[in-house]
Amino acid sequence: MRSLLILVVLATASLAIVIPRARNSVVECLMCEKAVKAAAPELERDTEAIEKDFDEDCVKDLKIPFAGKECEKYINMYLDIIINELKSGTAPKDVCKKLHDC
């Protein structure tokens, strides 16, 4: 019985090391996709206009408490990074994967 317990503990520990957990949630993936959708069509557009489009779309689609604050926090942290990825040639469908948000 003791050997079995040790085997289970070792197996669990090895799986924890081998299988990395996803860094972000479904909500962050959705916010990233919406930010890319807002930024991709016109990269030279003013960032305030992109933020406004993102905020409207994000708050409308996220059905969570405090969605406005979460959307604002996300766009403040990642908009410049997303724009730089798009300008450097990363395909819009690949930006969120590259940022590990999806």
Tell me the C-alpha distance between 35 and 32, whole Å. Answer: 5
Read off the pLDDT of residues 40-56 as tens digits, 9 standing for 90 and up: 988 888 888 888 889 88
| 17 pLDDT above the threshold of 60 | no
Q: What does the chain come to in residues? A: 102
CA–CA separation, 34 and 53 (whole Å): 9
What's the pLDDT score for residue 22?
46
Give the separation between CA 58 and CA 42, rounded to whole angstroms: 18
Show the domains of the chain with their CATH numbers: 23-98 (1.10.225.10)
62-85 average pLDDT score: 87
Q: What is the DSSP track for 31-80?
A: HHHHHHHHHTT-TTS-HHHHHHHHHHHHHHH--STTHHHHHHHHHHHHHH
Greatest alpha-carbon pair distance for the chain in Å reads 66
Q: What is the pLDDT of residue 69?
A: 87
Contact 53, 38 (CB under 8 A): yes
User: Between residues 5 and 46, which one has the greater pLDDT?
Assistant: 46
Please report the pLDDT score of residue 91 as a whole number: 94
CB atoms within 10 A of CB 45: 13
pLDDT of residue 93: 94
